[in-house]
């Protein structure tokens, strides 16, 4: 992101010059992000690697896996309507799944053989 210079005095990192609200169209934002990533030699674009969407996906997963409440993550990602986005962005890794399973108090479960 350092490859994209923030305009002096602007409150938006990615300002939109022709947008009355002051923020950039998401498609233009992604284009600038991909361009900056490529300038840094990083794999970028829908076919090759990093996109704004992939960063949102990472942030949702990383935050939830580290115990940040779902509502906080939704607000960070701009989802203020009460609709959770974890179904869209959250990915549960095998390691995290195992760690979560270890937290559950399942000591009461025993293995039974058929016919016992």
pLDDT digits (tens, 9 = 90+) for 39-94: 999 888 888 788 888 888 888 888 887 787 787 777 777 776 655 666 666 666 77
Mean pLDDT of 1-25: 55
3: its two tokens: 């490859």
Looking at residue 1, its pLDDT comes to 46
Report the predicted TM-score, pTM, of the whole model to 2 decimal places.
0.50
Most distant CA pair in the chain, distance:
76
Task: Please say whether the beta carbons of 4 and 32 come within 8 A.
Answer: yes
């Amino acid at each position: 992101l350092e490859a994209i210079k923030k305009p002096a005095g602007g409150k938006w990192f990615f300002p939109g010059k022709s947008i009355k609200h002051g923020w950039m169209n998401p498609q233009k934002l992604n284009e600038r992000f991909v361009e900056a990533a490529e300038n840094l030699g990083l794999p970028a674009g829908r076919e090759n690697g990093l996109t704004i969407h992939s960063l949102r996906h990472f942030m949702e997963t990383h935050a939830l896996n580290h115990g940040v409440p779902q509502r906080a993550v939704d607000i960070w990602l701009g989802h203020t309507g009460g609709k959770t986005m974890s179904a869209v962005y959250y990915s549960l890794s095998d390691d995290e799944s195992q760690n979560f399973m270890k937290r559950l108090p399942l000591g009461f479960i025993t293995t039974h053989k058929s016919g016992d």
